[in-house]
Amino acid sequence: MNIAYVYPWDVVGDPSAPERLAALGVDAVALAASYHSTRAATPYHPAHRVLDVPYPAFYLPVRPSAWGRLVPATPAWTPADAYLQARDALKAVGLQVHAWTVLTHNSHLGTANPDLVVRNAFGDPYPYALCPAHEDVIEYCDRLVQEILTVGEPDGLILEACGPLGFGHQSVHEKTSGADWTSVDADLLSLCFCAACAPRYPEPTMARVRAAIDHTPAPHTGTGTRTGTGTTTDTGTGTGSGTGPGSASALHPTTVEEALGPLADEVRTIRVGLSTSLRERLIAVSRRTAPNVPITLHANPDPWAAGAFAALPAGEQGADVLVANCWGDPATDAARLTRLTELSQAGQRVGAYVLALPPRPADPAVLADHLRTYAKAGATEFHLYHAGLASRERLTALKEALRQAT
């Protein structure tokens, strides 16, 4: 199955949109049911060319009785039932409609509820990132899935940001590149130390993360204690050459494990557990609410992953499809797909989330070569981003690439 991703406003108000999407040769459309803020090109819409989406919104009618503490916002730039209108138009031309559901990425709710957001080791909040260590956040995601399945009646459910987000975020006028933080620094800045997360870690964790970011000697861990319950043991002495708190490798770690030292295994387990518990709860509620609706997870086999593709280092047998991000170097993307394929269960499909926008060229031969690379790595379906944002030249290239590669 091949799936094109679109927003509700790409379809609502544009009578030509359903046929244009069907002409791509896809089987289904991933239609955003809940989505974060953005500024989107709308190159085909008869009423506009650029749409400003200033806050995250829910594209089905918001029924007050269905929500708890956290209630999603209603859009002002498209009808309140835009998902339903777009769904019906797409199904009328024979396309399946899967509900593209963004979970913990929500700056509107995070700004209004700062006690529920991810905070780094320095206490800095990430307002766009709801932390699933909080029951209110888990309950919100639970109710979101129930409402989409009950009111939206999709042919499939796609779960994105099914875990904690981290440092990486395309924010308004992002100004962080000059700090020269490495990918390891970004992973460390993604560790959450909110009021619900901090007590779960061994006591020295925050200090070690701060030291790694600032390239200062890490505190001696010794036999650590937890700020909540339990203990952790550090077998290192902090002496000798190469690995002690003041060594070059400790001051400039090349992996998260190196930065955290003897605390790494326990911190990793805690972090992965946040995504796992949220994922398992949402899969359970989905099966109760709509047993026959297939579930797709945007997933990353990296246990330190924090973002739209949540950490899934041990697989998930309850899902129908596991989708890996394929927006970077094709060889690196293929390795990620291969690992996700190794983690998949019998009968479970693996998908490649393929970028058809810049910096990818509008060249069908190049795109087809990428698709073949991903197929060799285990992808049995392609998730195409993004059929509403792409120019006519790019849509033509994508259509031809699909024809060549499948």
| 71-107 pLDDT tens trace | 999 999 999 999 999 999 999 999 999 999 999 999 9
Give the predicted TM-score (pTM) of the model: 0.93
Q: State the Cα–Cα distance between residues 208 and 199, nearest whole angstrom.
A: 15
| 285-341 pLDDT tens trace | 999 999 999 999 999 999 999 999 999 999 999 999 999 999 999 999 999 999 999
Largest CA distance in the chain: 71
Which CATH code is given to the segment(s) 2-169+182-214+256-319?
A: 3.20.20
pLDDT in the model for residue 237: 35
The angle subtended at Cα 177 by Cα 259 and Cα 50, nearest 5°, is 130
Residues of the chain above pLDDT 90, percent: 89
Please name the residue that has the structure tokens 């620094």. 185
Amino acid letter for position 17: A
Identify whether the C-beta of residue 293 lies closer than 8 Å to the C-beta of residue 285.
no
Confidence of residue 221 (pLDDT cuts 50, 70, 90): low
User: What stretch of H or E contains 286?
Assistant: helix 264-289
Please name the residue that has the structure tokens 């007590």. 199
User: What stretch of H or E contains 325?
Assistant: strand 321-326
Q: State the Cα–Cα distance between residues 279 and 276, nearest whole angstrom.
A: 5
Q: State the Cα–Cα distance between residues 188 and 392, nearest whole angstrom.
A: 41
Q: State the Cα–Cα distance between residues 64 and 73, nearest whole angstrom.
A: 11
